[in-house]
Structure 1
Amino acid sequence: MENQIHTVLGANGAIGMAVIKELEARELQIRKVSSKSTGVNADLLSKEDAERAIAGSGYVYLCIGLPYNTKVWETQWPQIMQNVIDACEKAQAKLIFLDNIYMYASPLPVPFDESTPQNPNTKKGNARKQTADLMVKAFRENKIKGLIGRSADFYGEGAVNSPFYISFLERMLQNKGPQTLVPADIEHTYADVLDNGRALVELALNDDCYGEVWHLPVGKPITTNGMLALFNEKLRSNFEVSVMPTFLKNTLSFFTPILKEAKEMEYQFTQKYIMSDTKFIKRFPNFKVSSYKDGVDRMVESFKHIQK
């Protein structure tokens, strides 16, 4: 097992880098694959590229991100997943898929777990469910050995797509007040990127974890204001967060694509959104989940170099 190649698809992303860090700590053989070459360059929309990137692998970690655009997700995610499944089947490689939690619809139980019904009422949720269903079908039909690790909204080292970077930490590093699109006083659970990387490798190396969906570990429920206090502590600042009014969001969404894209997912932040990681923690009781303070400290340090 130890001498098999662990191929990371999406090696340049925050979670891909976290997986690589854990694999390096375990001194396992790594192949880094991304669209911006740091190792192997591959376009996973190409069946041939996917096969070339995965050939000879024992383990494949699908950790890529796509532009936050509904049409892109609807067309590209299923195609990428099918290409990767086919390549893993050909290589007889195990597939570990980093998924999100968009396929769970509102309203949600508090907390929600892996058994929560999947009836997405958003276009992005439908795209993610369709993609995950392809993989579930593949491992249930014994075409591949695979598992799905679902992450909550993540933050931490290098997490440029985190809700706590865009218009939040990036503004604080410029000595400006952080901004948010959603209420700052509603509890939410977040995942540290390094915890995600460690958890995915832990799952990958344990055969009994295959053929299942796993919620990756999260911190305890916390509000945006609670996270802000930790950022202020690290930066020795005293910022308050400004929440964009609904009428302004609605107006700007006509002209700002990312606001329009984010609108359908706002339900995740307008009610308690508490993800249960009980299944994972029961299986790995010695797994130490990072404190929000440690994750925030690492996140700030990782972005300090771009301060303007």
Structure 2
Amino acid sequence: MSAAPTAVLGASGQVGRLVLDALVAAGHEAVAVGRTAPRDAPAGVTVRVVPSYDGGALTDALTGCGAVVATLGLPYRSTVWAAQWAPLVAAVTAACRGTGLPLTFLDNVYVYGDAREPLRETTPLRPCSRKGEARLAGWHVLAAHADAGHDVVVCRAADFLGPGASLGIVPWPAVVAAAGAGRPALPWLGDPDAPHSFALTTEVAAALVQVALDPSMRTDTVLHLPAVEPTTGRALADALGRVRTDGRTVRLRALRSPVVRAAALVNGAAREQAEMMYQVEHEQLVDDSVVRALGWSAPRTTVADVAALAHARAERDARVSRP
């Protein structure tokens, strides 16, 4: 493990900011690199703002670092992803090639498409959405980087759940609200009885740090990050109801495909979600057995753990809001 600092690309994003926290908590130096500076970066973190990821600016920003963790994102629009994702990945791999730095790249599972079995590192890549096709184009860039002999591990994560995850099947602010006072409904995209795998954002960040800095975790080019115990929308709502101090149940508000397709006629966000509904209208499970065999030793997070985390956040928010 290098004593040089670890660069975090996309450090202002929902996971990048958590990676900075995880590095600092583990006693490592960190350099936050991005087109904007992260808000409230941990003390001691060096911040390097680049005008873009193209050209020599990124290479310069990585000078003096010992490893790179990329947690990059783009606006959630398929046209943007199709035009910009592969070039962005190419710019990052070029900078790592120029500096000789190992790359740990955060990705999602869109490249697998509508697979009807647990997703493994060996599952065929058959995207069935425009966003999945864009991710596949990015994967080809990363695979070529690996084939050329460069050190890269692509870490694929299930849908995010937890601090910082404001979008997705069930946004974290909605989960926190459901765990607190009042009677909010818990929104859920898709079939509320279809089991689904999530990745807790704080675990994603910690696992990225471990993969980046522990050579024994870098045995292959693709690695699935730790996943929460599979759950359903109904099970999550029940778990949130059990942690509430007022004893009230949490109502579930499921948004099924016909509703999303109808909303897509007039709403841009719904149009972007419509092509991804294949993920949530039937079971989608992510197999994380490889990362656990390699050394991820934390006990599996359960839906009860998620509810307790949300309740603790709701209680903290309530204390802050009191006069």
Q: 1:233 to 1:48 in 2, by over 3 A?
A: farther
Residue in structure 2 matching 1:82, options 71, 85, 90: 90
The answer on whether the counterparts of 2:176 and 2:313 sit within 8 Å (CA) in structure 1 is no
Residue in structure 1 matching 2:266, options 249, 255, 261: 255
Q: 1:245 to 1:155 in 2, by over 3 A?
A: closer
Q: 1:81 to 1:299 in 2, by over 3 A?
A: farther
The answer on whether the counterparts of 2:256 and 2:281 sit within 8 Å (CA) in structure 1 is no
Report what 1:106 is aligned to: 114
1:53-202 counterparts in 2 under 5 A?
Answer: 53-109=61-117, 111-142=118-149, 144-165=150-171, 168-169=174-175, 172=178, 175-202=183-210
Separation (CA, whole Å) in 2 of partners of 1:255 and 1:167: 25
Q: 1:166 to 1:182 in 2, by over 3 A?
A: farther
Q: 1:87 to 1:213 in 2, by over 3 A?
A: same
Q: Does 1:41 align with 2:52?
A: no
Separation (CA, whole Å) in 2 of partners of 1:305 and 1:51: 41
Report what 2:301 is aligned to: 290
Q: 1:43 to 1:164 in 2, by over 3 A?
A: farther
Name stretches of at least 5 consecutive residues in structure 1 with no aligned partner.
none
Separation (CA, whole Å) in 2 of partners of 1:167 and 1:250: 24
Which region of structure 1 is more displaced relative to structure 2, 188-197 or 158-167?
A: 158-167
Q: TM-score, normalised by structure 1?
A: 0.90
The answer on whether the counterparts of 2:162 and 2:172 sit within 8 Å (CA) in structure 1 is no
Separation (CA, whole Å) in 1 of partners of 2:289 and 2:37: 37
The answer on whether the counterparts of 1:155 and 1:299 sit within 8 Å (CA) in structure 2 is no
Report what 1:9 is aligned to: 9
Report what 1:239 is aligned to: 250
* Deviation at residue 140 of structure 1 after TM alignment: 1.4
Aligned-residue CA RMSD in angstroms? 2.4
Q: Give the SS at the match of 1:14.
A: coil
Q: Does 1:219 align with 2:236?
A: no
Q: 1:12 to 1:240 in 2, by over 3 A?
A: same
Identity %: 23
Q: 1:167 to 1:256 in 2, by over 3 A?
A: farther
The answer on whether the counterparts of 1:195 and 1:290 sit within 8 Å (CA) in structure 2 is no
Separation (CA, whole Å) in 1 of partners of 2:277 and 2:196: 12
Q: TM-score, normalised by structure 2?
A: 0.86
* Deviation at residue 41 of structure 1 after TM alignment: 1.8
The answer on whether the counterparts of 1:146 and 1:210 sit within 8 Å (CA) in structure 2 is no
Residue by residue, what CA displacement relative to the aligned partner does 1:150-204 show, whole Å, maximum 9, x if unpaired?
0001111222224321783376467432223311111011111111112112112
Residue by residue, what CA displacement relative to the aligned partner does 1:63-107 show, whole Å, maximum 9, x if unpaired?
122111001111111111111111111111110000000000213
One-letter amino acid of the counterpart of residue 271, structure 1: H
Report what 1:203 is aligned to: 211
Separation (CA, whole Å) in 2 of partners of 1:290 and 1:127: 31
Report what 2:238 is aligned to: 229
* Deviation at residue 40 of structure 1 after TM alignment: 1.9
Name stretches of at least 5 consecutive residues in structure 2 with no aligned partner.
39-46
Report what 1:20 is aligned to: 20
Separation (CA, whole Å) in 2 of partners of 1:180 and 1:2: 43
Q: 1:298 to 1:88 in 2, by over 3 A?
A: same
One-letter amino acid of the counterpart of residue 89, structure 2: M
Residue by residue, what CA displacement relative to the aligned partner does 1:33-66 show, whole Å, maximum 9, x if unpaired?
2333132222444323322322222111111221
* Deviation at residue 252 of structure 1 after TM alignment: 1.4
One-letter amino acid of the counterpart of residue 100, structure 1: N
